């Protein structure tokens, strides 16, 4: 089962800047070989369900290791069985109607 997620990880208790934690997550995503797209309020990732959610777990573990004692994350996750659809397909589908 493939999934597209939007991942937004927020470390708490480490001050105002969260970009270094987001960058660390980006490296984890890349190391997993998954397609991803950074945007201004999260990162979209696509791939096999287990691989994608393994990355989410590794991001939590890494951010705790970096010193954040608390993390709150928001995830949107989409699956479909009627057809394959990539992140690029989703954007193209909307843009074709603009």
- Residues of the shown chain interacting with a second copy in the complex, contacts defined by CB under 8 A: 1, 3-6, 8, 10, 12-13, 15-20, 22-23, 26-27, 37-42, 44, 46, 49-50, 53, 56-57, 60-61, 64, 69-82, 87-88, 90-91, 93-98
Residue 25's Cβ-side half-sphere holds a number of Cα atoms within 13 Å equal to 31
Instruction: Compute the least distance from the CB of residue 55 to a second copy, in Å.
Output: 12
Instruction: Compute the least distance from the CB of residue 72 to a second copy, in Å.
Output: 5
Of 2, 8, 21, nearest to 87 (Cα)?
2
Residues with Cβ within 8 Å of residue 4, at least 6 apart in sequence: 44, 45, 46, 77, 78, 85, 86, 87, 90
Q: Assign 11 to helix, strand or coil.
A: strand
Instruction: Compute the least distance from the CB of residue 91 to a second copy, in Å.
Output: 5
């Amino acid at each position: 089962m493939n999934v597209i997620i939007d991942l937004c990880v927020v470390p708490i208790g480490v001050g105002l800047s969260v970009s270094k934690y987001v960058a660390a997550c980006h490296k984890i995503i890349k190391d997993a070989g998954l397609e991803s797209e950074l945007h201004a309020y999260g990162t979209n990732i696509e791939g096999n369900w287990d691989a994608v959610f393994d990355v989410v777990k590794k991001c939590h573990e890494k951010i705790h290791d970096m010193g954040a004692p608390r993390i709150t994350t928001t995830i949107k996750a989409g699956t479909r069985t009627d057809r394959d659809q990539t992140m690029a397909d989703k954007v193209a589908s909307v843009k074709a109607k603009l």
